[in-house]
Amino acid sequence: MGVLLLSLTMPHSFPIYPVISSTVYGGHGNGILGRNRFTVISCANGNRQRERNLLRRREVVEHICLLKANKNISEDEEKEMLDYLYTSQYQMRGMVAISLGQISGEAKEDYTHAVFMRFGSKEDLAKLYENPPYLQVMKKHVLPYCHGLMNVDYESEVEDDILHIFRKGEEYNFGVEFVLLIAFVEAAIVEAVEDALMSLQELTEEHPSLILQCTQGSNFNSKTSEEYTHGAVMRFRSSEAFQIFLSSSRYRDVWESKLQPIARKTLAIHFCVDPVGTEIM
């Protein structure tokens, strides 16, 4: 098993690591979606004006949870923890997608597992932290096996298409989930941050053969917003697609010229996604 895990304290050279497979979960949930709209996102930099295509977009709220599992956790305990987390989606109205899995490779910041959830609105996400079945799952089947966790929440937009909103269909049954957390330096001006994030978004949109979807946004979780200011999640079509993207000169250029100069630190992980059953625990 394996997964890329990278944690940087800037400045550093561009990180490239080999890709190995991993045992993971992926799927979709159910719930009420946020509002949709037409939008044009533009970013000016000097004499340069860039505009994204006019598309019908749907607002979503992304939730990332990184777990620090105990070193002595058994395979059965790990499987139970992930199974309960995955099937908790069926008891939470408002969750529209979920994927999770074990982070392989050398652990950085001691994180071992990652959970990604999508909600239709900030109100739906707020209910997660108060949902009795979910709290019981955390209390009985997660926290006993972990010694720490971190949550990052952000608002974003996706194409207003049911397959992409719910991450349903054959394309989403497999692939690689790439999670990138960024802490921008306090002195970074808003325009520079927006330009860096726009460059990253545009880069992902240039590679539809490699990337199914990318979302990013400002972390509004008050407990972790100072540690990481922004988050991004990219779903790659395969491990090979992920490796091609990370090894590309374009990504290296965006990283070194846009992100690295204004980032205090970053944390990036990926895990492979495989279809799983739907038995409710």
pTM of the model: 0.81
User: What total number of domains does the chain contain?
Assistant: 1
**Is 103 domain-assigned?**
yes
Q: Residues, the chain, total?
A: 281
| 3-state SS class at 152 | strand
**Is 51 domain-assigned?**
no
**Is 2 domain-assigned?**
no
pLDDT tens track of the chain, all 281 residues? 444 444 333 333 334 333 333 444 555 444 445 444 433 333 333 333 334 434 689 999 999 999 999 999 999 999 999 999 999 999 998 999 999 999 966 767 999 999 999 999 999 999 999 999 999 999 999 999 999 999 999 999 999 999 999 999 999 999 999 999 999 999 999 999 999 999 999 999 999 999 999 999 999 999 999 899 999 999 999 999 999 999 999 999 999 999 999 999 999 999 989 765 444 44
Say which CATH number the domain at 152 has. 3.30.70.100
**Is 268 domain-assigned?**
yes
Reading the block at residue 30, the tokens are 């159910």
**Is 13 domain-assigned?**
no
**Is 9 domain-assigned?**
no
Distance CA 232, CA 91 (A): 26
**Is 16 domain-assigned?**
no
Burial grade of 127 (CB within 10 A; 0-12, 13-18, 19 or more): middle
Distance CA 249, CA 236 (A): 18
| Cα atoms in the 13 Å half-sphere on the side-chain side of 234 | 25
Domain that holds residue 162: 61-273
**Is 50 domain-assigned?**
no
